[in-house]
C-alpha cells in the first residue's frame, strides 16, 4: 500500500468534503479486458462518445469488443467508453452480480491492452458487501458497525474527485481490502452499514482521517509511520490484549542464514540508497524483540538497521504474516516467531469482535483503537 500518493488526493478531496447525499465509489473489478460480456434485465447502455443510449428489454446479454478501442486515439486521461445499468439495480459479469453500474473505461496507458471494468456503487452498499468479506456476518453487530466506520474512512480517503485523477478509487483485490462478488450482503451487514451511514473517523477539527484495519494485531497495534513511509495524524499504537485467544495462533518460520542475508541485501537495495551486500558468513543478528519495529544486525563490524515492514514487503505475507515478529539465530539457521496477521495498523478486527462480545458499543471500540479520533457524520 503506497501512502504518499494517496495522501495528496486525500487532501484534495477533503478540502471540500461536504456531501449532500451518499457518494458513489468506483471499484476496479477487471483490468485490460479484450471482451466484456455483461448480462441483466432491461439493461440500459450509454456510450458517451457516440451520444448513444440503448435499452435492451428482458433478460439480455451485451457484448463489448475492447480490441476496437485500439483504433481510437488514446486520451491522456481515462475515457469512459460505455456504462451499463439495470432498473433492477443488478448487473452481471462473469458469474458475479454487481449492485450499481458497470463502466468500461479506456486507460491513458499508451500500451493500451483493452478496457478496464469499474463498478460504480453507492458507498454504503459497498461498505455492506465489504463487511461480508472482511468480517463474518454473524459477528456481533457492534463489531460490524465499528468495521463499517473504519472501512468507510478508508474508502473515502481513496476517492478521486474526477476522471482526471483516475478511473477508479479502489481495486477489488487484497490491496484495497476487498475482493470478489458484491452481491453477498446480509441483513446484518446492511444494518451495520445503514445505522452508521455517513460516519467516518475524524480529528479534533472534524476533518476525516484515513481508516486502517487488519485481521489480528497479536498484542499491540502500530502507527502508519511504523509500517509505511507517511504518517497519518491521530494514530497511536495501543495495547490489544483482546485478540489473543481468537483466530490463528502465533506463527513460526525457520529460514537459512543465507536466505536471510539475501533478503536483507534485497531489502536494503530497494528501500535505501545504499548497496550493502550482506553475506551470511559475516552476519550477526542483534538481540531482537517482537515489539521492535526495526531489525538490527552486524555485517562484519558495521551495524545496520532495516524496518520489519520492509522485510515483510520483500518476503511476502506467506513468509511473514505480520510485522509483529522476533528474529533470532539458532543452530539450524534463523528462527522467526511472530504473533498476529496483517499490517497491524489501526483497528484489530479480532480484538474488535472480542470487545463487542464484552458489551462495548461500536463507538467505544473505535475509541479504544483510535483514542485521538472521533466519529463524525459527513453525509
Ligand atoms: Zn489485537
Domain boundaries, the chain: 251-338
Give the three cell numbers for residue 292: 521492535
Q: How far is the CA of 222 from the centre of ligand 1 (A)?
A: 10
Cα–ligand 1 centroid distance for 72 (angstroms): 51
Measured in Å, residue 345 CA sits from the centre of ligand 1 at: 10
Measured torsion, CA atoms of residues 340, 367, 379, 170, in degrees rounded to the nearest 10: -10
Give the list of residues 6+ apart from residue 113 with CB closer than 8 angstroms, or none: 32, 34
Q: What percent of the chain has pLDDT over 70?
A: 88
- Say what the pLDDT of residue 273 is: 83
How many Å lie between the centroid of ligand 1 and the Cα of residue 253? Answer: 21
CB 79 within 8 A of CB 166: no
Of 17-21, 74-78, 85-89, 226-230, give the range with the top mean pLDDT.
85-89
Is the pLDDT assigned to residue 324 strictly greater than 50? yes
pLDDT of residue 149 exceeding 90, the answer is: yes
Distance of CA 244 from the midpoint of ligand 1 (Å): 7
Residue-level pLDDT at 5: 38
335, β-bridge pairs: 254, 328
Q: How confident is the model at residue 10 (pLDDT cuts 50, 70, 90)?
A: very low
Give the count of alpha carbons within 13 A of 325, CB side only.
28
pLDDT at position 214, please?
94
Alpha carbon of residue 223 to chain centroid: 16
At residue 72, the pLDDT reads 56
**Per-residue confidence band for 11, with pLDDT thresholds at 50, 70 and 90:** very low
**Centre of ligand 1 from the C-alpha of residue 316, in Å:** 21
25 alpha carbon to ligand 1 midpoint, in Å? 29
Q: Read off the pLDDT of each residue in 263-271 and give the average, rounded to a whole number.
A: 94
Mean of the pLDDT values across residues 5-30?
A: 62
Measured in Å, residue 319 CA sits from the centre of ligand 1 at 20
**How far does the centroid of ligand 1 lie from the alpha carbon of residue 216, in Å?**
5
- Tell me how far apart the alpha carbons of residues 353 and 343 are, in angstroms, rounded to a whole number: 18
DSSP state of 280: G
* Portion of the chain with pLDDT greater than 90, in percent: 62
Q: Give CA–CA dist 172/121, Å, rounded.
A: 13
Distances (CA, A) of 353 to 135, 147, 312, 358, 366: 9, 10, 26, 9, 12
pLDDT of residue 9: 40
**Distance between CA atoms of residues 70 and 53, nearest Å:** 22
Q: Which residue has the higher pLDDT, 109 or 352?
A: 352
Q: 163 Cβ partners below 8 Å, 6+ apart?
A: 77, 78, 79, 80
The pLDDT, as a whole number, for residue 12 is: 40
**pLDDT (0 to 100) of residue 22:** 85
Distance 372 CA to ligand 1 centre (A): 18
Closest CA relative to residue 71, chosen from 101, 49, 52? 49
C-alpha pair distances (Å), 117 with each of 79, 88, 102, 229, 370 = 12, 20, 7, 31, 35
318: Cα within 13 Å, side-chain hemisphere: 0
Residue 335 C-alpha to ligand 1 middle, in angstroms?
23
pLDDT at position 31 is 86
Whether residue 51 is predicted with pLDDT greater than 60 in this model: the reply is yes
Q: How far is the CA of 132 from the centre of ligand 1 (A)?
A: 20
Confidence of residue 262 (pLDDT cuts 50, 70, 90): very high
What H or E segment, with its residue span, contains residue 155?
helix 141-158
- pLDDT for res 95: 85
Q: What is the pLDDT of residue 130?
A: 87
Burial class (CB in 10 A: 0-12, 13-18, 19+), 103: buried
Residue 82, pLDDT > 50, answer: yes
330 bridge partner residues: 333
What pLDDT shows up at residue 258? 95
Interval between CA 262 and ligand 1 midpoint (Å): 31
Cβ–Cβ contacts within 10 Å for residue 254, how many? 10
Q: What mean pLDDT comes out for the span 235-244?
A: 96
Average pLDDT, the chain: 87
350 grid coordinates: 479480532
Ligand 1 centroid from CA 148, angstroms: 18
For the chain, helix (H) and strand (E) counts, in that order, are 9, 19
* pLDDT at 357 > cutoff 80: yes
- Total number of residues shown for the chain: 379
Amino acid at each position: 500500500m503506497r501512502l504518499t500518493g494517496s495522501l495528496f488526493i486525500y487532501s484534495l478531496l477533503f478540502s471540500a468534503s461536504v456531501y449532500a447525499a451518499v457518494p458513489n465509489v468506483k471499484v476496479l473489478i477487471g483490468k485490460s479486458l479484450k471482451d466484456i460480456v455483461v448480462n441483466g434485465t432491461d439493461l440500459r447502455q450509454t456510450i458517451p462518445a457516440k451520444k448513444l443510449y440503448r435499452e435492451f428489454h428482458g433478460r439480455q446479454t451485451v457484448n463489448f469488443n475492447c480490441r476496437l478501442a485500439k483504433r481510437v486515439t488514446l486520451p491522456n486521461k481515462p475515457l469512459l467508453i460505455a456504462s451499463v445499468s439495470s432498473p433492477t439495480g443488478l448487473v452481471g459479469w462473469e458469474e458475479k452480480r454487481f449492485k450499481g453500474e458497470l463502466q468500461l473505461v479506456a486507460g491513458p496507458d499508451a500500451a493500451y491492452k483493452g478496457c478496464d471494468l469499474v463498478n460504480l456503487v453507492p458507498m454504503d452498499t459497498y461498505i455492506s458487501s465489504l463487511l461480508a468479506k472482511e468480517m463474518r456476518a454473524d459477528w456481533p453487530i457492534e463489531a460490524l458497525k465499528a468495521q463499517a466506520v473504519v472501512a468507510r474512512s478508508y474508502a473515502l480517503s481513496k476517492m478521486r474527485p474526477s476522471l482526471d485523477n483516475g478511473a477508479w478509487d479502489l481495486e477489488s483485490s487484497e490491496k484495497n481490502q476487498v475482493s470478489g462478488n458484491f452481491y453477498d450482503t446480509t441483513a446484518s451487514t446492511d444494518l451495520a452499514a445503514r445505522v452508521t451511514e455517513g460516519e467516518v473517523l475524524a480529528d479534533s477539527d472534524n476533518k476525516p482521517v484515513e481508516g486502517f484495519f487488519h485481521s489480528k494485531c497479536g498484542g499491540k497495534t502500530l502507527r502508519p509511520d511504523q509500517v509505511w513511509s507517511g504518517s497519518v495524524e491521530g494514530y497511536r499504537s495501543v495495547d490489544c490484549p483482546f485478540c489473543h485467544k481468537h483466530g490463528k495462533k502465533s506463527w513460526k518460520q525457520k529460514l537459512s542464514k543465507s536466505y536471510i542475508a539475501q533478503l536483507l541485501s534485497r531489502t536494503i537495495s530497494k528501500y535505501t540508497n545504499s548497496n550493502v551486500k550482506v553475506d551470511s558468513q559475516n552476519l550477526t543478528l542483534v538481540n531482537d524483540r517482537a515489539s521492535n519495529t526495526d531489525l538490527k544486525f552486524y555485517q562484519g563490524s558495521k551495524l545496520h538497521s532495516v524496518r520489519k515492514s520492509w522485510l515483510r514487503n520483500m518476503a511476502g505475507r506467506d513468509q511473514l504474516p505480520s510485522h509483529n515478529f522476533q528474529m533470532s539465530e539458532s543452530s539450524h539457521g534463523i528462527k522467526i516467531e511472530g504473533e498476529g496477521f496483517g499490517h497491524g495498523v489501526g483497528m484489530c478486527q479480532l480484538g474488535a469482535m472480542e470487545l463487542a462480545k464484552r458489551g462495548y458499543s461500536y463507538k467505544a471500540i473505535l475509541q479504544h483503537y483510535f483514542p485521538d479520533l472521533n466519529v463524525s457524520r459527513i453525509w
